[in-house]
Copies of this chain bind each other. A is one copy, B any other.
Amino acid sequence: MPPRAARLGDIRPFHVMRLLERARELEASGRNIVHLEIGEPDFATPQPIVAAGRQALEDGRVHYTPARGLATLRQAVSGYYRERYGVDVDPNRILITPGASGALQLALAALVDPGMGVMLSDPGYPCNRNLVRLVEGVVRAVPVGAADGYQLTPELAAAHWRADTAALLVATPANPSGTLLSRAALAELAELCRNRGAALIVDEIYQGLTYDAEDITALAFGEDIFVINSFSKFFGMTGWRLGWLVVPADYAADLDVLAQNLFLAAGTLSQHAALAAFSPETRAILEQRRETFRQRRDFLLPALRELGFDIPVTPEGAFYLYANCRALTGNSFEFSQRLLEEAGVALTPGIDFGDHRAGEHVRFAYTTSLEALEEGVERLRRFLCGQA
């Protein structure tokens, strides 16, 4: 057999995939499953975006675009930052990418030399550590918990700083916790990185999906910050595979070349469709959906707390609740398996998000209807009663 690169052995599969596969099996055998593990909106792509996609198809927009994306789309993203966030971002600093996934890969490839450290939170988005591994960087996971709002705070970052720290990677709102970094925290993180010669990468893929809190962008805190974003979540375009990356002006040309080598370009139809993502019509739809997500959260959060899940920090964004289930089980992975088999409810076990107290946590995603959430809570209630 051919050789196998060492990194291949280091990249762990996600446990939720096994659960999802088992859920599909159970469904195929006739069981009803309440899905609370899915990390994407259940909504369809907003109609104006679909219509723009259809039009692009009619117009034969099927050839490669420039590597960094359509100029019109980069301008539209820039306009969005100005209007909605009051921040000026030169379109030349914006690269359109195949999802936030592509943006994360570009940023890490541009910043991280082999052996250099990337500080990130544990728990955190599972792909991050593997993307760091891909470029031969070293993951420096910082355990975070309720006291830190499940975020890599400036205090934690300073305390865990090492000589090899090349970049800090944070997400706000975060996956799996749904918690946010404040303006002050972002400004301090930026300042810390600036002073110590490291890069700050902020993943804003759940931007727009905030409920009680202010909707902000890290771009307000310096032109040296790398910002990841995507049309996947707030804009409801997961399967279109489209995101963007904002970089310091000095990096724009090199990242254009890197993007060309890695991807050639993001999808053409997707880019034309996304031109409709910032229209007033689409924005109205997205606002409604945000309201729906808020209602779901406002139902699920107290219901879970009542069942004995400990959710000490109110999640103010994304569509996730990261719950401590220590009062209910000693092993959240086994708990997730039993919950699926016996109660027909699918969750994501904490182990997928890191190592820190992973066995005490599960993630709930409210990416399903209020009725399904009610049914899920009812099933959980019965399951926990039977278990008690």
Q: How many Å from the CB of A8 to the closest CB on chain B?
A: 5
Q: Report A245-278 CB contacts with B as 1/0, cut-off 8 Å.
A: 0001011011001101111111111100000000
Chain B residues, CB < 8 A from A8: 109-110, 254, 258
A3 at the A/B interface (Cβ < 8 Å)?
yes
Min CB gap A214→B, angstroms? 26
Task: Assess the A261–B135 pair: CB atoms within 8 A.
Answer: no
Quick check: B134 and A62 within 8 Å, CB to CB?
no
Query: What per-residue 1/0 map shows which CB atoms of A66-110 lie under 8 Å from chain B?
Result: 000000000000000000000000000000001101100100011
Q: How far is the CA of A373 from the CA of B267 in the complex (A)?
A: 29
Contact of A101 among B3, B135, B263 (CB under 8 A): B263
Question: A263, B241: Cβ atoms under 8 Å?
Answer: yes
A382–B251 alpha-carbon span in the complex (Å): 42
Given contact pairs A62-B240, A266-B241, A270-B267, A261 touches B3 in the complex (Cβ within 8 A): no
| A314 on interface, CB distance cutoff 8 Å | no
Select one of B14, B113, B265, B270 contacting A5, CB under 8 A.
Answer: B113
Chain B residues, CB < 8 A from A254: 4, 8, 11
Interface stretch among A53-61, A150-158, A343-351?
A53-61
The answer to whether the Cβ of A13 comes within 8 Å of any Cβ in the partner chain is: yes
Residues of B contacting A265 in the complex (Cβ-Cβ under 8 angstroms): 239, 241
Instruction: Report copies per complex.
Output: 2
Please count how many residues in chain A sit with their CB below 8 Å of the partner chain's CB atoms.
78
- Is A368 part of the binding interface, using a Cβ–Cβ cutoff of 8 Å? no
Chain B residues, CB < 8 A from A248: 1-2
Residues of B within 8 A of A50 (CB): 57, 62
Q: Which residues of chain B come closer than 8 Å to A199, judged between CB atoms?
A: 2-3
Distance to closest chain B CB from A198 (angstroms)? 7
Q: Are B264 and A99 in contact (CB under 8 A)?
A: yes
Listed residue (A54, A113, A266) with the most chain B CB atoms within 10 angstroms of its CB:
A113
With A2-B248, A6-B113 given, can you name 6 additional A-B contacts, CB distance below 8 Å? A3-B111, A3-B166, A3-B167, A4-B254, A64-B239, A241-B263
Q: Contact residues of A with B, CB < 8 Å?
A: 1-8, 11-14, 17, 40, 44-45, 50, 53-54, 57, 60-65, 98-99, 101-102, 105, 109-114, 116, 126-127, 130-131, 134-136, 166-167, 193, 197-200, 224, 226, 236-241, 248, 250-251, 253-254, 257-258, 260-270
The 7 tightest CB contacts between A and B, nearest first, are A239-B268, A2-B199, A130-B261, A45-B62, A62-B239, A241-B267, A127-B261
